[in-house]
Structure 1
Amino acid sequence: MEIRVENCDRKHFLETTTRNRVSKMAGLFGSQNIVLSGKVFVGPTCVIRGDLAHVRVGKYSMIRDGTILRPSLKHFNKGVAFVPLTIGEHCLIEENVVVSAAQIGSFVNIGKNAVIGKRAVIKECAVILPDAVLAPDTVVPPFAIFGGAPARPVGKVPDNHQEAITELTTTFYQNTKVEDFGKGK
């Protein structure tokens, strides 16, 4: 896994007191219901819909450009209710992903352009391949690789996945410092 490092110019990114780095071009709706646990990266044109239900993102997780985190809804005979969205630590959610899951475990990698269906649960150390479409209410077991449309099991994650994704997310965070570029010009 290789990922390009972002230049976080203060004109385009904010750094919070818990060291989250959030693009000023990202749309965070219902911010009172969004919890970024610390050292989370939120890229440009991301949308996080905390106005629908609580959204919690674990430490060192990366939400790349164009991704939408949207809590899913559940229909009842007396109406609808939104299900909170929880994302674990050291998760990599790549570009242009749509997430309507109920839970994403720690050390998960979701590839570009994937669609995660309503109320899906992705367990720890799983990988969702690029362009995969995960059906609503799907449960992805730990250490599984899912791909295709509709997504189904296509392999098993290597034993060193947890260490590799931890190193990737930590290194990415350490190399993307929010700085003043062009100072004094």
Structure 2
Amino acid sequence: MDLPIVNYSKSEYIETDTGNKVSRKSVICGSQNIILGGKTILQTGSVIRGDLRRTGVGHAVVVSVGRYCFLSQGCVIRPPSKTYKGVFSYYPMKIGDHVTIGEGTIVQAATIGSFVSIGKNCVIGRFAIIKDCCRIEDNTVIPPNSVVPSFSVYKGSPGKLVDELPESIQDIIEARTKDRYAKFVPSA
């Protein structure tokens, strides 16, 4: 299935030296604590909370997003948190390469591997680990501290294994994310 060309207003997006395309209507808090790997698209209304971090001196990477990632409208990326020995702390989050996060999805995972597709209106619980080459279907809730194994498809509330993906899925997802980036072009 070919992806359509998506035209955007050049005045609405900022393009960085590494090819990231960030909507001026997205919310990025604590940008000094966020790393975007390159060729990542942040759509209108997407939120990344880099300001939620452990207290202390110096800069800490709170949210790391890989290359060719696509954060859809209204998704929220927030680092996981917990109280340990009476002290409330936030912990870093790492998102791999070629990851798509659907509209209205809330992510508080510890790690999302590479070649992952997360659907619309999902909730990824605190400290969840999503391994490489997975698909999370629309409206799925992944409970806190869950581990989603590689090459799996999860669906439901709470999310359960419903299918497995072929080993070729890495190539398919990589081609799709590169195609999506190439077809996200400014309008004439």
TM-score (norm 2): 0.91
Q: Which residue of 2 aligns with 1:30?
A: 30
Give CA deviations for 1:69-117 in whole Å, capped at 9, x if unaligned. Answer: 0001021122111111110000111111100000000000001111000
Match of 1:111 among 115, 119, 125: 119
Task: Report if the CA contact (8 A) 1:71-1:100 is conserved.
Answer: yes
**Bigger fraction of residues in strand:** 2
Give the structure 1 partner of residue 135 of structure 2.
127
2:97 matched to 1:89?
yes
Unaligned ranges ≥5, structure 1? none
Specify whether residues 3 and 52 from structure 1 end up closer, same or farther in structure 2 by C-alpha distance, changes over 3 A only: farther
Q: Which amino acid aligns with 2:129?
A: V
Q: How far, CA to CA, are the matches of 2:78 and 2:174 in structure 1?
A: 25
In 1, Cα distance between equivalents of 2:111 and 2:31:
19
TM-score, normalised to structure 1's length? 0.93
Give the equivalent residue in structure 1 for 2:72: 64
- Aligned partners of 2:71 and 2:3: how far apart in 1? 12
Alpha carbons 1:55, 1:84 under 8 Å: kept: yes
Once the two structures are TM-superposed, the CA of residue 174 in structure 1 deviates from its matched residue by 1.0
Unaligned runs of 5+ in 2: 54-61
> SS of the counterpart of 1:177?
strand
SS in 2 for 1:22: strand
Of the three residues 151, 176, 184, the one matched with 1:168 is 176
The percent identity for this pair of structures is 39
2:106 maps to amino acid? V
Alignment correspondent of 1:74: 82
Query: Deviations for 1:128-157, whole angstroms, at most 9, x for unmatched residues?
Result: 110000000000011111110001111101
Task: Give me the CA root mean square deviation.
Answer: 1.3
